[in-house]
Amino acid sequence: MEAITDLGDSALLLPGAAFVFVTLWLVRARRRAIAWAVAIAFCGGTMVVLKIGLVPCGKPWLGRELANPSGHAALSATFYGSLALLALDGIAGVAGRAILLVVAALAIVGIAVSRIAIGVHTSPEVAVGLIVGLMSVGLFAALRGRGPAPRLAFPLIVLLLLGGAAALYGRRAGAEDLIRHIAVIFYRTTGLC
């Protein structure tokens, strides 16, 4: 389960997101590049606000079951869901499109379930993360525009992600610690606690 959960870690997905952005920009799919960046930023920003806002002054105000929404679930849904939409733009056959959607869904669900299985998050926390991720994918879909699909090297992107996952196996980004530190600074400077 640890290997599956690592596929949703920001240590892998944020550099991967930057790579996709640069690739889109370089192939002159600038509208899609901007939509990609907005979706990733929306996901990250929303998760930071939720993680800080749901535990004001260190006390969860919606209960312990919903104190720490899953950033892994949110970011993996955003990343893999939006990447699937990019890939769908270049696939004509129904079977190929169906396979792509199933693979993306399995990755997203697998990462979400792994967060519960390893005891890091509760089901409601994972559900909130998935909702934020799906909203981010919807934002990407709305902003990306229509037209011919950019010629992206999806096998290269997948290979780089798998290589990155292997290289980073067992390492975590430490985003939770950073967000907790930001929360402490926020609540101290605003005088809310």
- pLDDT tens string 129-140: 999 999 999 999
- Over the stretch 28-47, which tens digit does the pLDDT of each residue have? 889 999 999 999 999 999 99
Question: DSSP readout, 55-124?
Answer: SGGG--TT-GGGSS--HHHHHHHHHHHHHHHHHHTT--SHHHHHHHHHHHHHHHHHHHHHHHHTTSS-HH
**For the chain, what is the domain count?**
1
The domain in which residue 70 lies consists of: 2-190
The structure tokens listed for 178 are 């950073």
Distance CA 78, CA 44 (A): 10
Distance CA 140, CA 127 (A): 20
Q: 49 Cβ partners below 8 Å, 6+ apart?
A: none
Query: Using an 8 Å Cβ cutoff, are 133 and 108 in contact?
Result: yes
pLDDT at 114 > cutoff 90: yes
Identify the three-state secondary structure at position 153: coil
Kindly report the pTM of this predicted structure.
Answer: 0.86
pLDDT at 19: 87
**175: phi then psi, degrees, rounded to nearest 5:** -65, -35
